[in-house]
Amino acid sequence: MTSIMNQPTRRTFIRQAACAALGTTGLLSTIWDLRKVNAATTLGDYKALVCLFLYGGNDANNVLIPNDTSHYQIYSAARGPLAIPRTDLRPLTLQTGDGRQYGLHPNLPELANLFNQGKLTMVANVGTLVAPTTRDDYVNGTAAVPDSLFSHEDQAVQWMTSVPDRTDIRTGWGGRAADLLASLNGNSKVSLALSIAGTNTFEVGNAVIPYLISPSGSLGLRGVGSRDPNAAIRVQGFKDLLALEHKNLFEAAYADTMSRSIAENEVLTSALHGIPALQTAFPTTELGRQLAMVSKLIAARSNLGMQRQIFFCAVGGYDTHGDQVSAQAGLLSELSTAMNAFYLATVELGVDRSVTTFTASDFGRTLPSNGGGSDHGWGSHQFVMGGAVRGNRLYGTFPTLAVNGPDDTEDGRWIPTTSVDEFSATLASWFGVADSDLSTVFPNIGRFAHRNLGFVA
């Protein structure tokens, strides 16, 4: 590809319930054997993938903005009251490009700085695709399109599974990649997949089951505090009950899940104990606290026996149908400061080239305003950050900003020109999934032109 440019709240409850409903049942386990060792990966080379999911559908039209006179005027006219003043943009320095200039939203100064340092890039117009789709195909009704297109819950799950033409998929691409590489962690008692943001489909594999941890640490059992003189006796008694034979299927599944959770909690608590405090200061925002915990877990990687780790972080609020200018400004400020702190922490830990962080979101949003905000879209732009990123450039194809233009569905929604499969397969390849195994993790990858977009080395 040419390089020219990637008590809970109601929203949290809905998206966690949607993910949980998918369960942890294996995906086509009789056909796909995901437990084999990836021979292309060598022991001793630590790598971590960090997914930052922006629930609600981030309006990337106001994240990456044309900054040359003619294209900015087109953008400004199309966006109306949502347009960001050109004088406020954070200019990007590009090594290569399409002749245009670009800038980031004014509340992304840290990310603009990382971009200009070559530590961050963007992939343009990424989205869920069953197969490459043109405007003519879409308008004529001849294109195969993802199930429940423009639906929050469905599109979020499809981003995580990378299988938009099936509704029976119960594993995520991160989980399937983890299945392939879990053996690199040897006899580690902790899951390769760790979530600091609750249940998600992305990390669910056939064999690998994600372990949930809070931004404050491992949750553990309640009611057995360290000051209770009988705490150890109570915990052991509970373990003994779980270890009994359980003939009922649901009882056995509960006992197995609880036993693993208790064991992982004990290992995590021990591994995190005594880890030196990081000098990097994290913002005290929801995403800042999540990424601070990810940093601690990375710092404890040797104690945990980890050569590969996948992390899931997430924040909501990106469904900006109204009050978008103000709401998105705050959300992007949270994103920029937290991602910057996390990158600095990976430098402090000496693993900046071994950790790649990427964003994902349900979908993009419409180019025209609905008055105070924007509506559900399709293609969007995503960030990728880390020392291994090939920065100072943009990847993918930036859309023509025109309603009824060549990249539009007719409503100001961009038809993606880069598929989630291509975007995610690039990350999975860097993580250690062999090219011969990509079709195992991404069953539709053969429908697209690129298995590796080259934005991370």
Q: How far apart are CA 166 and CA 301, in angstroms?
A: 36
Higher per-residue pLDDT: 242 or 68: 68
Question: Is the residue at 423 inside a domain?
Answer: yes
Question: Is the residue at 441 inside a domain?
Answer: yes
Q: How far apart are CA 210 and CA 49, in angstroms?
A: 14
Torsion, CA 333, CA 160, CA 19, CA 56, rounded to 10: 30
State which H helix or E strand residue 361 sits in.
strand 355-361
pLDDT band at 358 (very low <50, low <70, confident <90, very high): very high
Confidence at residue 229, expressed as pLDDT on a 0 to 100 scale? 74
Helix segments in 28-144, DSSP class H: 69-79, 109-116, 135-140
Average pLDDT of span 101-125: 98
Q: Is the pLDDT of residue 42 over 70?
A: no
Confidence at residue 32, expressed as pLDDT on a 0 to 100 scale? 35
Boundaries of domain holding 385: 10-220+276-447
Confidence at residue 312, expressed as pLDDT on a 0 to 100 scale? 98
Contacts of 253 (CB under 8 A, 6+ apart): none
- The burial of 427, by beta-carbon neighbours within 10 Å (0-12 exposed, 13-18 middle, 19 or more buried), is given as buried
Question: Is the residue at 245 inside a domain?
Answer: no
Q: How far apart are CA 405 and CA 403, in angstroms?
A: 5
Q: Is the pLDDT of residue 34 over 70?
A: no
Residue among 62, 86, 123 at smallest CA distance from 425: 123
Average pLDDT of span 188-200: 96
Give the phi and the psi of residue 347 in degrees, each rounded to 5: -65, -45
Q: What is the pTM of this model?
A: 0.88
Q: Which amino acid is at 392?
A: N
Question: Is the residue at 373 inside a domain?
Answer: yes
Query: At what angle are helices 109-116 and 324-348 packed, to 10 degrees?
Result: 50
**What pLDDT, in 10s, does the model give residues 210-269?**
999 999 988 776 655 556 677 777 778 878 888 888 889 988 888 887 887 788 888 888
Q: What is the domain count for the chain?
A: 1
Confidence at residue 110, expressed as pLDDT on a 0 to 100 scale? 98
Q: Which two tokens stand for residue 43?
A: 């022991």
- The burial of 153, by beta-carbon neighbours within 10 Å (0-12 exposed, 13-18 middle, 19 or more buried), is given as middle
Question: Is the residue at 205 inside a domain?
Answer: yes
Weakest mean pLDDT among 82-86, 228-232, 307-311: 228-232
**What pLDDT, in 10s, does the model give residues 363-419?**
999 999 999 999 999 999 999 999 999 999 999 999 999 999 999 999 999 999 999
Weakest mean pLDDT among 93-102, 141-150, 157-166, 412-421: 93-102
- Here the CATH number for the domain that contains residue 166 is 3.40.720
CB 346 within 8 A of CB 386: yes
Question: Is the residue at 264 inside a domain?
Answer: no
Q: Which amino acid is at 197?
A: A
Question: Is the residue at 260 inside a domain?
Answer: no
CA distances (Å), 414 to each of 219, 335, 403, 418, in order? 42, 23, 9, 11
**What pLDDT, in 10s, does the model give residues 164-192?**
999 999 999 999 999 999 999 999 989 99
